[in-house]
A and B are shown apart, each in its own frame.
Chain A
Amino acid sequence: MTSKTRTPIQLRINGHRHELEVEPRVTLLDALRDHLGLTGTKKGCDQGQCGACTVHIDGQRVLACLTLATQAESRDITTIEGLAGEDGTLHAVQAAFLEQDAFQCGYCTPGQIMSAVACIREGHAGSDEEIREYMAGNLCRCGAYPHIVAAVRQAAVEAAS
């Protein structure tokens, strides 16, 4: 709490290297949003309960609000901004979310999409039941759940074919 020393760190985000100076207590979520302007990753609770801040570190889904920025050094961080192709081509999960209307306000959406990409990669999208269970850590207050399930199912089928 009393350490105010700013530490220079390097973060590799969406394939790009970023250098910044942060206090050791700065979370990855605040580093992304407040220090690097990558506001696609959302803060919904700041206490690991809602899933809105879900990003990938070395391909695994993690909660950026419960991860210190320094813990993510020298690891590959992927955020929602890095999911589409360089030419803007949407990731299959993004396209499915749009087609299935799997969101309303859009605030939980980046976390849902990052979770969905990992859910499919983990092999946890084999059935609607399984999708519901493995997507249950991402809260959606607008209630888009059935459409999220449909989008994950659609993207999983596409990924398998």
Chain B
Amino acid sequence: MTVHELRTRPGDAKRGDASDGAVLADQVGGRLSRVDGPAKITGAAKYAVEQQLEGLTHAVLVESTIAAGRVRSIDTAAAKASPGALLVLTPDNILPLRTATDWLGTPPPDVAYCPLARDITFSGQHVAAVVAETFEQAVAAAALVKIAYDEAAAIVDLSDPKAGDGIPVDAMTKEWGEAETAFASAPVRICNAYNTPREYQAPIEPHGLIAKWQGDQLTVWEPSQWLDGMARTYAEWFGVPFENVRLVSPYIGGGFGSKAFAYGYGAVAAVAAKMLGRPVKLAVTRPQTFTAYGGRAATRQTVALGANAEGQIQSIVHRGVNETSVDGMWVEPLGSVTSVMYATPNFSSRQNVVRVNTVVPGALRAPGENPSAFGIESAIDELAYEVGIDPLEIRLRNYAEQDPHAKKPWSTRQLREAFAAGAEAFGWSKRNPRPRSMRDGNQLIGWGVAAGTYPVRRAYGEAVVRILADGSVEVESSSIDMGQGTYTILAQTAAEVVGVPAENVVVKLGDSRYARAGVTGGSRLAGVMTGAVHKAASAALDQLIGLAISDPASPFHALQANTLVVANGRIASPRGNGPEVSIAELLSSVGREHIEAKGDTMPANSTVEDRYKNYTTIAMALPHTEGDYSRHSWCAHFIEVRVDEDFGTVRVSRVVSALDSGRLYNPKLAESQWKGGIIMGIGQALLEEGIVDRRHGRIVNNNLADYLIATNADIPDIEVISVGIPDPHSSVLGGKGVGELGIVGVAPAIANAVFHATGKRVRDLPITLEKLI
């Protein structure tokens, strides 16, 4: 079953993404191929650090080899004397910077910021940097920097006896009813612990930047999920006006949450460029990408489900812990899915964070929802076996008809439809519920199901739309495309609104000089930006038609029409009488070079300060439960695994996922993103794990051969089915989030399938062979 077929079944014309067969590829909802595709398949697409600049120098970082302690001394003599070396930066000679506002908009303390450390809190911390004329010279010189340490005992991870129970995060507490009492008196009780390890974003484009100063103007070419937020950080570090910093990020080679902030190495490169008076390129090496910024925190959860004999949940008691760094705070919200997926009269979720000697963890695709779903979606599968009910049936018996936590109706929730469509396409009804009941030779076959969800994060956006003299249309925004398809869906939006072919629309993104944009994260950008472009393009169209009707030089002037229509780049009367001219001809006849309109979706009375805050922090983002509804995207994954009975190796052999992301702006690209999330989830379930050396507190598998991500040979065909309907409460054009949804629920679906295949319940990711034999 394809999305297309599902959409067009009889009597169901209003479903989903409007790709009902009548939608042209050019329009919103059409299957237009990526407009940035030709540049990417020919090698013409220049990514941020690929700019060729005159006088470019190269910086290489030197990192701590201990996880805790203090730098006693740094011997830079040999590095300085090394051929081509221009500058050796250490905490002793680096220019002082100011602390910047964080992403929440918290005013920074008035203390200096130094991106090179004397006090070491994790292995891999930046201690020094060497800048040289060539990359090779910088690498060679960096190897000559000698650092002496006073080493202290490190807390290496959550299982370290020194780690303790951590700090309660009261903001994470969610409680209603009498959860503990109700659990204690429930006829059926299960209670288990679920763990996820450190995981890494591992985008194939490593992080890095080129920094160049001209006077007090800084230009930074850096892959970025948030140009305006990062520009603000650089500006505040250096005490220059926001407008003095230009971020350029035309293409981003994958982010997955890791490219939204300016990190310490960015400060190092920008300082070096200032001190040298020359542009500096700093490319973070692949091993350094494991410590230059944080991946997903390791998590521990306990999920207790109390139920009656029919499998109806009476109470959920959930306790979670995630690791954070010694001097930074990251909360991975572990109760996020637990609190919304199933109806329960009694609920309690609390969470602690535990400080360990690591880089501060960060966002990785569906932070919070991803590990949260591993807990609750494994636990309900265990409950299903405990009471002897089909794992799909038990989910329907506990279906939440409204948001159990917010006590508000869902804006849209096509999860029941997802279960039905997925089960039908997968053939779930043919499943023998008994573990170890299906086999093919020495392979044990298991079928598992799990659901996923992600909240709809909404924000305000702006865009500029121009209609140019040649009749083409230009869209400008400082938002970005890291593969989600922003270039393409904004071209479709402008094309549909103005009435031109999409090939006549040029979308310009990734430059902070364009109309501002907030963070590309939390699956919010498509909904925000299609809304903003729709508004700007509508305003541009109004101007165009206004000119055509009222300008004395217009061929339509004598027609005295109330309105005109624009289609396929040509303007005409809706009745078909009168002239028909191209946009270019009209603009020429009225003597206009172009029409320009700026559109934003900010509240009407917004101040300049509001706008700055909106685009450079997340303080103005709208909660998903704001107003009358609770807004989420939803999905159901049906997965088949084959487990070698002798070796315990697990292969995913079949995936069918049905997903509700509301209306899809471009199903072709949305399907790709969903599948990408599912594939990352397969890697998470079976392969991915940051391994800590317990003696030195360092990540030992800090490279792509040892930190295993899924390869082509690990992935079967994947079928995705859209079951969404337009959701007017979630975005201007009716879409909900796409990018993060797909991964949520994949790991528990695989763990559940592995249990079905083997009778062994693995509650500790990844599911590796030693846990099965």
Where the two chains meet, the residues of A that have a C-beta atom closer than 8 Å to any C-beta of B are: 1, 4, 23, 25-26, 30, 33-34, 37-47, 49-50, 52, 79-81, 83-84, 90, 94, 97-99, 101, 103-110, 113, 128, 131-133, 135-149
Contacts and interface: CB of A to CB of B under 8 A. Distances in A.
A103 B135 contact: no
B171 interface: no
A144 B482 CA distance: 14
Question: Mostly helix, strand, loop or mixed at chain A's interface?
Answer: loop
Given A25-B136, A94-B42, A139-B704, A105 B205 contact: yes
B283 A43 contact: yes
A141 B677 contact: no
Among B52, B204, B704: residue with most chain A CB under 10 A: B204
6 contacts: A43-B206, A44-B704, A94-B41, A106-B36, A106-B251, A139-B711
> Interface size class for chain B?
35 or more
B483 A106 contact: yes
Question: Mostly helix, strand, loop or mixed at chain B's interface?
Answer: loop
A42 B136 CA distance: 17
Contacts of A132: 712-713, 715
A26 B283 CA distance: 16
A44 B680 contact: no
Contacts of B111: none
Nearest to B655: A146
B160 interface: no
Given A34-B135, A98-B37, A107 B42 contact: no
Contacts of B709: 139, 141
Given A45-B704, A104-B483, A105-B254, A98 B286 contact: no
A31 to B, nearest CB: 11
A39 B41 contact: no
Interface string B712-735: 111111100000000000000000
Contact of B676 (A25, A128, A137, A144): A144
B610 interface: no
A-B CB proximity, top 4 nearest: A40-B43, A107-B253, A104-B483, A143-B679
A97 B41 contact: yes
A141 B206 CA distance: 12
Contact of B669 (A47, A101, A105): A101
Among B37, B668, B712: residue with most chain A CB under 10 A: B712
Nearest to A96: B41
Given A45-B704, A141-B203, A40 B42 contact: yes
A146 B42 contact: no
B675 interface: yes
B256 interface: yes
Contact of A44 (B33, B206, B672, B677): B206
Nearest to B41: A94
A109 B4 CA distance: 27
Among B46, B47, B134: residue with most chain A CB under 10 A: B134
Contact of A148 (B33, B253, B255, B712): B712
Interface string B32-68: 0110111111111111001010000000000000000
Contacts of A143: 675-680, 710, 715
Contact of A81 (B38, B43, B485, B705): B43
Contacts of B712: 131-133, 135-136, 138, 140, 145, 148-149
Among A34, A79, A84, A101: residue with most chain B CB under 10 A: A101
Contacts of B704: 44-45, 47, 49-50, 139
B484 interface: yes
A4 B715 contact: no
B349 to A, nearest CB: 30
B41 A90 contact: yes
Among A42, A46, A103, A107: residue with most chain B CB under 10 A: A107
A35 B78 CA distance: 27
B719 to A, nearest CB: 9
